[in-house]
Amino acid sequence: MKYTPRLPERNDNVSPASPIKELAVLAGGLLAAIVGIYLLLGIAVDIIVPRLSPAVEQRLAGPFLRTVSHFDDAAEGTRARVQRLLDRLQTDCAELPFPLQVHVKAGQTINALAFPGGHIVIFQGLLDEVASENELAFVLAHEMGHYIHRDHLRGIGRALVFITVSTLTLGPDSPVANVLGSALNLTEMRFSRAQETRADTFGLDALHCLYGHVGGSTDFFQKIPADQDPGRFGHYFASHPENRRRIDHLEEMTRARGYVSAPPIPFSSSE
């Protein structure tokens, strides 16, 4: 056996590919997959929201109920009065697939929130600002408008897909749904300009239906003082120009529909 010393001409065990190119291909693929899933989830939200039955929506409230129950820390009398006003709106002027429930939260924030399952959370700060029952009715009807148009479900965003799937497969009290529910900060839910306008339109119609006039509908929007932090005012007063635009829209609608204005009924949060 003869030994011929010779080194191999090329190395078959190491691929000659450029590592930078490989990184670009792999990272690009990963990025494309993430963007694709993000877009798909966005489309899925649009598909899911109109198809959720009221019964399923009630079950979706499960993960949020714990959060909502923390909110009932204001006087029960106040809550009951707001609830009575809401009930009148529901019975006479706005047909919702399920009854809405009001929760009042102590705090200076001037805002109201629409949680899944028909739970409206109103901050005490908002009730303190309200001078008339009509004003409050408009705020409530505005929130009801979000329910009718299902903005409160869209507002949850892409997480809605996971919450819906986990609720339908594992039930409303599954740990998965609870983790998802508590991770979401619905107090910072933002609605689009179109959604707010539709809710305002609905609110104005409901106000006219309840009182026969639309007095007090824009009062609430006039309340934002020039020197105050608009952030306190939640989604009613996103910014000054936006606020002005919404008042204009309401006034224009009032003219277009021939609604009349009359003095509103006074309201005080402390009886």
Partner 1 sequence: MIDLIIFLSLVALGFGAGTFVEKRHYRRIRTREAATIHLPITTTKQVDCLPETVQSVELVQGSAVISVDYFKRLLASLRNLFGGNVKSYESLIDRARREALLRMKEKAPQAHMIVNVRIETATVGRKANKKGVGCLEALAYGTAVTLKESA
Query: By CB under 8 A, how many residues form the interface with partner 1?
Result: 18
CB of 7 or CB of 183, closer to partner 1? 7
What b/e string do you get for 177-194 counting C-beta neighbours within 10 Å, with b at 16 or more?
A: bbebbeebebeebebeee
State how far the alpha carbon of 269 is from the alpha carbons of 124, 125, 161, 210, in Å: 8, 10, 38, 20
Tokens of 187: 């107090």
Of 7 and 226, which CB lies nearer to partner 1 in the complex structure? 7
- One-letter amino acid for residue 235 of the chain: H
**Minimal distance in Å, beta carbon 36 to partner 1?**
14
Please give the structure tokens belonging to residue 124. Answer: 């005490």
Q: Which is nearer to partner 1, 29 or 171 (CB)?
A: 29
- Report, in Å, the least distance between residue 183 CB and partner 1: 21
Q: Which is nearer to partner 1, 29 or 263 (CB)?
A: 29
CB 267 within 8 A of CB 261: no
- Is residue 110 within 8 A of residue 129, CB to CB? The reply is yes
Q: Would you say the C-alpha torsion 47, 196, 242, 128 has a positive or negative sign?
A: negative
- Which lies closer to partner 1 via its Cβ, residue 17 or residue 183? 17
Identity of the residue, 34 or 47, whose beta carbon is nearer to partner 1 in the bound complex: 34
Judged by CB under 8 A, the chain residues 2 through 41 that form the site for partner 1 are 3, 5-7, 11, 13-15, 17, 19-20, 22-23, 26-27, 29-30
Query: Got the DSSP string for 26-55?
Result: HHHHHHHHHHHHHHHHHHHHHHHHHH--HH
Nearest partner of 137 among 93, 96, 101, judged by Cα: 93
Residue 226 phi, psi (nearest 5): -60, -30
**Minimum separation from the CB atom of position 92 to partner 1 (A):** 54
Nearer to partner 1, 7 or 256 (CB): 7
Instruction: Say whether residue 227 binds partner 1 (CB under 8 A).
Output: no
CB 25, min distance to partner 1, A: 9
- Lookup: tokens for 264: 């509103």
Strands in 112-115's sheet, in edge-to-edge order, are 101-105, 119-123, 112-115
Which 94-123 positions form the footprint of partner 1 (CB under 8 A)?
none
Q: How far is the CB of 32 from partner 1 (least distance, A)?
A: 11
The interface with partner 1 within residues 57-96 (CB under 8 A) comprises none
Which residues are CB-neighbours of 91 under 8 A, at least 6 positions away?
none
Instruction: State which residue, 31 or 262, has the beta carbon closest to partner 1.
Output: 31
Q: Minimum Å distance from CB 18 to partner 1?
A: 10
Question: Alpha-carbon distance 105 to 75, whole Å?
Answer: 9
- Where on the chain is the footprint of partner 1 (CB under 8 A)? 1, 3, 5-7, 11, 13-15, 17, 19-20, 22-23, 26-27, 29-30
